[in-house]
Structures are given as structure tokens and as C-alpha cells.
Amino acid sequence: MANQVEQPAQRDLVISRILNAPRELVFKAWTDPKHIAKWWGPKGFTAPVCKLDVRVGGAILIHMRGPDGVVYPMHGVFREIIVPERLVFISKALEDEKGNAGFEVVTTVTFDEHNGKTKLSLHAAVTVLKPTSEVAKSLGGMEVGWNQSLDRLTALVEEATIS
């Protein structure tokens, strides 16, 4: 059994950046599974399973595989979709053998037109459900992980390698 670790029950992460690509393209990179599979996860990670039902109430299932081969499944549900302006989804991660998640995240992504470019803003509101050392480690790497994922997304859309 994982050790209980003192940590805040709620945590917020906010990241904004300007991408040199039109927002319709950036939005598509967030809503097409074949594109998400190319950028989701930190450097060295892959997303061998990427399934999206992009509609309010639709499911999200993404498995991130680390360089060491460990798979980190994440599943969730879309809460709000405004094409091409906004995505909101809730996800759960680090489930135990009984299906109880270690934490859940409400992720809000906005796509604002910015002189032909896209201002992408990501807000991840985390609720810790089980304060374990594994949850603490995962959340400790969350900011770096999201920034590396967004670096990969930026490269993908700025190279216009998606259609």
C-alpha cells in the first residue's frame, strides 16, 4: 500500500504561450486523436492509445508510455467544447486496483486569435483524492510535463505537419 503523504488537496497550474499557427489548426491538434498521439506527453513519452469522442459527455482515453516502458493511463470526459475557442475536460489518473483515482484534473484550454497566431492558455485544476507518494511524484512533475507536451505541440503545428 502506498504511503500517505501530506500535500494540498487542490492545486492549480496555468500555462500560456503564443503559437505561430492559426487557432483552427491548434484546436484540431487537440481534438484529433492521430495528432494528439504525436505530441501528448513529456519528452521521450509516447501515446500508444489515444481515443477521443469529441462532444460534450464524450470520452477521452490516453495512455502515456514513459521511456522506461511504464504506461500511465488517463481517462476522462469532455465537459465543454466551443470550436475553435475552448475545451474543458475532466480526467482521472493513477487508479488503484479497485479503480479509485489518485487525483482528478479539470483542464480548460482556450485558443485565442492573436494577430494570425494562437494564444493558448491551459488551466489545470487538480484535486488530490488519495495523498500518496506516487500522486505527489506525479503532481511534482506536472508543470514540466505539460510544458514539454506543449513544446511538442508547438513544433507540430508550427511545422504545419498536420492536415
* Per-residue pLDDT reduced to its tens digit, 101-127: 999 999 999 999 999 999 999 999 999
The tally of domains found in the chain comes to 1
46 within domain boundaries:
no
Q: What is the CATH number of the domain that holds 122?
A: 3.30.530.20
Please give the distance of CA 87 from its chain centroid, rounded to a whole number: 11
64 within domain boundaries:
no
The pTM for the full model equals 0.90
* Per-residue pLDDT reduced to its tens digit, 46-87: 999 999 999 999 999 999 999 999 999 999 999 999 999 999
